[in-house]
Chains A and B, each alone.
Chain A
Amino acid sequence: MAKKQDIVALRSEIEERIKKAFSHESPKLLSLTAIYNTKSEKRKIIFKDKLKELTAQGYLLPLKLGNRILYLSTAALRAVLSQLPSPEGSAPPPEVATTTKSLGIQVAYDALKFAQGGFSAVLISDLQRKMGIPLHDLHHALMEEVQAGRASLHRATSPNFPEEVWGSAIRLPGESEPYITVTMP
């Protein structure tokens, strides 16, 4: 049992190291060794397994350059892409974020989703903590995102949340239950 727990601890340590390597907000291509360099065979196996997992979850994008594989954070890439204008004559323009506020929400959302292992609904209270903006402003920005079809709000299905979560919830007139989480595409 102790051995299993060691491996679990090692897995989370390595996951943290990978996340740290991609923590900057501008997109950066990183090689395997730049992400995590180790001589331990055991760590290498876990590291590769974690990379596969994060790639499958859509957080990392593997890009081939000759024989090398470089990795890119999709969250950072998404942030940059959302600022690019649509090329002329392309398919109907996607409803992308145009305000810096929404861009900030998307980046914070992606980072939080990544940190919670890919679960898509992010707590509004976590978003506020991450963005460090007043709750009123966050609610206002989120409602703009919802109106623009870039976010959806969700109610709680568990009663077991701390007071902070309920305190950060969005309450809409005429609706009996508050919204505590948000998903973004």
Chain B
Amino acid sequence: MNPFADDIVTEPRRVGYSVANLNRQALDRLLEAFASLERGVPPRRPAATSLKAQLVISPDRGYGKSHLLGRLFKELDDRATLIYLRPFQDPDRYWQSVLLASVQELERPDHAGLETPENPSQLEILAHGVLAHLLANYFQHGDPQNREENEARVAHLRQDPLAVFGPNNQDRAWADWLRDKFVSLHSDLALEARRNHLELDGKEEAWLKVFFAYAHNPPSSLPRKAALRWLRAETIEHEDVQALNLHSSDNDANPEASHSTQNALCCTRLRGLCQWASYYRPFVFCFDQTEFYAANPSLIKTLGRMVEGLFSDFPHQLTVVTANQNNWLQDILPAMETPHHDRFSPPINLQGINRGQAMDLLRHRLEEAESSADIATSMADATWIESTFPARSTTMGVREFLVKASRRYCEITSTPPVPDLSLEELFANIQNEFRSKPSQQRYSQDAIIWFIQELAAHWQDVEVRPIAENRYFQTFWESNGRRRYFAIEGGSHHKRWHGIASSSLCLCPPAALPKSRCCIFRTPDLEAIPRTSWNAMRSAWDQAVAGALLIWNLSTDEIIELYAARELHAGALSRDIDYSAKEVLDFLGVSFAPWKERLFEFPVVPPPDPTPPSISPNVLALRKDVEMIVERHRFLALGDLLRQLPQSSEQNVLGAIEGHPRIRIYPGPRFILLQWRHPAST
């Protein structure tokens, strides 16, 4: 395998080796900005002056913007709550997109490592941190006669909240104590929060109940799922309200809310999370792939508005924005409101790799691939190095260097040169990347909106139009007198779905069928609908799904295809691939034609519900089995591995090893390759 073929970072939690002094200054500037948020002990007061969004600028593609974010994630590890954000797609629901993605990121493991139950999520850590520090405050202000005892408790709670309450702590004494006392304690803890100037519109207690429910219940339990729904600002059902022990007034999302009202509530929730960060550790929001906004002035304006909002209203957070300089100066800034320009820091310019740094990278990649000494010597040949870097100070983009090194490797090893990938191969490659990252296959409203609005607009025979004054359905397609209406809905509240069902019957009455029809895409990680408790609206629902309303439950393969398509488009917009955005959309238009046909078919046989993923009885045991096999083979195709584990599905195997520190996954256009990594290279 060519050790230089992997030259694009698509997930900052997966960055491999970093050349120590390459772009160290840029990283230090980000770390310095972050350090200003860590001053003092929790609960911290918001900084006197807000931090501008840190603008990381690349002079060209392939200078390591996403890699720098990966290094930032590694450096900050357990000092920050890390949120990586792909571009949002809808200027009317941008906070909703960012909140949804943020909650998904909060569910990622605290240490960018194993996605396993024993590695607590970022949200779990945040919840434990908040509760532990509030409890510490409570004891601090407690009975003066127990001062010594209280001081010991305070020190214990503050020292390492995860060690006190975390799931891996064998001593459950504190966790059990809190579980017993929480019902009588939460108002006192909320009072402690208010004492420290934390104002959340009177919802402080609700927040604490949600944190408690999430942190002190098992992953698939109702309280935990309800906590996530509340955090995502979805309207929650009565059973959720009860599971969380909330007041009905805390269920503040209105199922009939307009998009703008819902968007505002999402903003409030996200700001709330940042406010609670005063009790533990700050947030870092990373906006990557901003080239995606470049062609859409309303998205650019929204980005400016969002950064302005983060700057002025969100405490305890650092925002990082990456961009290519050309796109930033030429496309983005001119379309952004002038007052928002000032909310970005002076540029943090990325540098190219020089001769010495290139040698370092070369050595590391060869070692990692366990290449022979002969190959290593030939690769480090002075003539080649000097022709690539004529002077010691010559620099170039890291990706450009890796491409040259890859060609050189092929010459030396007499292997056929890595061909330029066709669009089909690139698309297949990205699909395999998503396939190898089950954590990236969760519901993304942005990907669905992209398909409905952007890709569909590229079809000659489809006209994409907005719908005015409909609470649920935002867009429709028109083609040869046929209409397809689309709504985006990730929630599962009966009133909202009742509204959707009724609205679909109004838009597509029996007389309008089969020409008109409504469609909503869902993914397997969402709550299955209809819920068993939807008795009151069952008849309206049944009537709607009998003709007017199609619920398309995307299978894992379809999700991967859809998400990979948007990523391919993003790659073209940022010039990460050698195809223009138009070429990519032309290609995707053909690839997704069957989706269009399926949506326009009538009568529609609803697509079969995807087979639920097989439940692995023991993730840890499966991971151990995979480790043994991969270590034995060193390099192994996923298909070969699966043949040795006939009881396990591809999804389970990839889920068990996602982010594994010793198993590296190389997604290729035709297969996924696994490598057991040498300890020195991990």
> Do A158 and B391 touch across chains, with their CB atoms under 8 A apart?
no
A116 at the interface (CB under 8 A from B): yes
> Do B291 and A157 touch across chains, with their CB atoms under 8 A apart?
yes
**Residues of the A chain whose Cβ atoms lie less than 8 Å from the Cβ of B61:** 155, 157
User: In the assembly, what is the distance between CA of A94 and CA of B347, in Å?
Assistant: 26
**Residues of the A chain whose Cβ atoms lie less than 8 Å from the Cβ of B347:** 57, 117-120
- Given A8-B338, A121-B59, A149:B390 Cβ within 8 A: yes
> Do A158 and B331 touch across chains, with their CB atoms under 8 A apart?
yes
> Do A95 and B392 touch across chains, with their CB atoms under 8 A apart?
yes
Q: Which chain B residue has the least Cβ–Cβ distance from A113?
A: B349
- Given A117-B346, A118-B347, A157:B327 Cβ within 8 A: yes
Q: Which chain B residue has the least Cβ–Cβ distance from A150?
A: B393
> Do A149 and B389 touch across chains, with their CB atoms under 8 A apart?
yes
| Chain A count of residues within 8 A CB distance of the other chain | 33
B60 to chain A, nearest CB (A): 4
**Residues of the B chain whose Cβ atoms lie less than 8 Å from the Cβ of A147:** 390-391
User: In the assembly, what is the distance between CA of A148 and CA of B395, in Å?
Assistant: 11
> Do B391 and A118 touch across chains, with their CB atoms under 8 A apart?
no
**Residues of the B chain whose Cβ atoms lie less than 8 Å from the Cβ of A31:** none
**Residues of the A chain whose Cβ atoms lie less than 8 Å from the Cβ of B523:** none
> Do B59 and A120 touch across chains, with their CB atoms under 8 A apart?
yes
- B411-452 CB mask vs A (1 if < 8 Å, else 0) is 000000000000000000000000000000000000000000
B352 at the interface (CB under 8 A from A): yes
B44 to chain A, nearest CB (A): 24
- B349-389 CB mask vs A (1 if < 8 Å, else 0) is 10010100000000000000000000000000000000001
A118 to chain B, nearest CB (A): 5
User: In the assembly, what is the distance between CA of A125 and CA of B491, in Å?
Assistant: 52
> From DSSP, what is the main secondary structure of chain B's interface residues?
loop
A72 to chain B, nearest CB (A): 19
**Residues of the A chain whose Cβ atoms lie less than 8 Å from the Cβ of B341:** 8
- Given A118-B349, A152-B352, A158-B330, A8:B342 Cβ within 8 A: yes
Interface residues of A in 33-62 (CB under 8 A from B): 53, 56-57
B326 at the interface (CB under 8 A from A): yes
A100 at the interface (CB under 8 A from B): no
User: In the assembly, what is the distance between CA of A148 and CA of B342, in Å?
Assistant: 37
**Residues of the B chain whose Cβ atoms lie less than 8 Å from the Cβ of A180:** 326
User: In the assembly, what is the distance between CA of A95 and CA of B390, in Å?
Assistant: 12
Interface extent on B, as a size class? Answer: 20 to 34
List the count of A-B residue pairs having beta carbons below 8 Å apart. Answer: 92
> Do A158 and B327 touch across chains, with their CB atoms under 8 A apart?
yes
Q: Which chain B residue has the least Cβ–Cβ distance from A155?
A: B60
**Residues of the B chain whose Cβ atoms lie less than 8 Å from the Cβ of A157:** 60-61, 291, 324-327, 574-575
User: In the assembly, what is the distance between CA of A150 and CA of B392, in Å?
Assistant: 10
User: In the assembly, what is the distance between CA of A57 and CA of B57, in Å?
Assistant: 13
> Do A149 and B338 touch across chains, with their CB atoms under 8 A apart?
no
User: In the assembly, what is the distance between CA of A57 and CA of B338, in Å?
Assistant: 21
B25 to chain A, nearest CB (A): 10
- Given A149-B390, A150-B393, A116:B346 Cβ within 8 A: no
Q: Which chain B residue has the least Cβ–Cβ distance from A147?
A: B390
Interface centre among B60, B327, B352 (most CB of A within 10 A): B60
User: In the assembly, what is the distance between CA of A115 and CA of B547, in Å?
Assistant: 62
Interface residues of A in 135-170 (CB under 8 A from B): 146-150, 152, 154-158, 160-161
**Residues of the A chain whose Cβ atoms lie less than 8 Å from the Cβ of B325:** 119-121, 157, 181
Interface residues of A in 51-82 (CB under 8 A from B): 53, 56-57
A90 at the interface (CB under 8 A from B): no
B614 at the interface (CB under 8 A from A): no
> Do B346 and A56 touch across chains, with their CB atoms under 8 A apart?
yes
> Do B346 and A53 touch across chains, with their CB atoms under 8 A apart?
yes
User: In the assembly, what is the distance between CA of A161 and CA of B338, in Å?
Assistant: 21
A181 to chain B, nearest CB (A): 7
A171 at the interface (CB under 8 A from B): no
Interface centre among B325, B342, B391 (most CB of A within 10 A): B325
B394 at the interface (CB under 8 A from A): yes
- Given A152-B352, A157-B574, A181-B325, A120:B57 Cβ within 8 A: yes
> Do B396 and A152 touch across chains, with their CB atoms under 8 A apart?
yes
> Do A116 and B352 touch across chains, with their CB atoms under 8 A apart?
no
B298 to chain A, nearest CB (A): 17
**Residues of the B chain whose Cβ atoms lie less than 8 Å from the Cβ of A8:** 338-339, 341-342
**Residues of the B chain whose Cβ atoms lie less than 8 Å from the Cβ of A99:** none
**Residues of the B chain whose Cβ atoms lie less than 8 Å from the Cβ of A95:** 391-393
User: In the assembly, what is the distance between CA of A94 and CA of B392, in Å?
Assistant: 9
A75 to chain B, nearest CB (A): 16
**Residues of the A chain whose Cβ atoms lie less than 8 Å from the Cβ of B349:** 118-120, 183
**Residues of the A chain whose Cβ atoms lie less than 8 Å from the Cβ of B575:** 155, 157
> 30 A-B residue contacts at CB 8 Å?
A5-B339, A8-B338, A8-B341, A8-B342, A95-B392, A119-B329, A119-B347, A120-B57, A120-B59, A120-B349, A121-B60, A148-B390, A149-B389, A149-B390, A152-B394, A156-B326, A157-B61, A157-B324, A157-B327, A157-B574, A158-B294, A158-B324, A158-B326, A161-B326, A161-B330, A180-B326, A181-B325, A183-B59, A183-B352, A185-B393
New contact pairs (10) apart from A149-B390, A152-B395, CB-CB < 8 Å: A1-B339, A8-B341, A117-B347, A120-B349, A149-B354, A154-B60, A157-B60, A157-B325, A181-B60, A181-B326
* 6 pairs of A and B residues whose beta carbons are closest in the complex: A149-B391, A149-B393, A154-B60, A121-B59, A149-B394, A120-B349
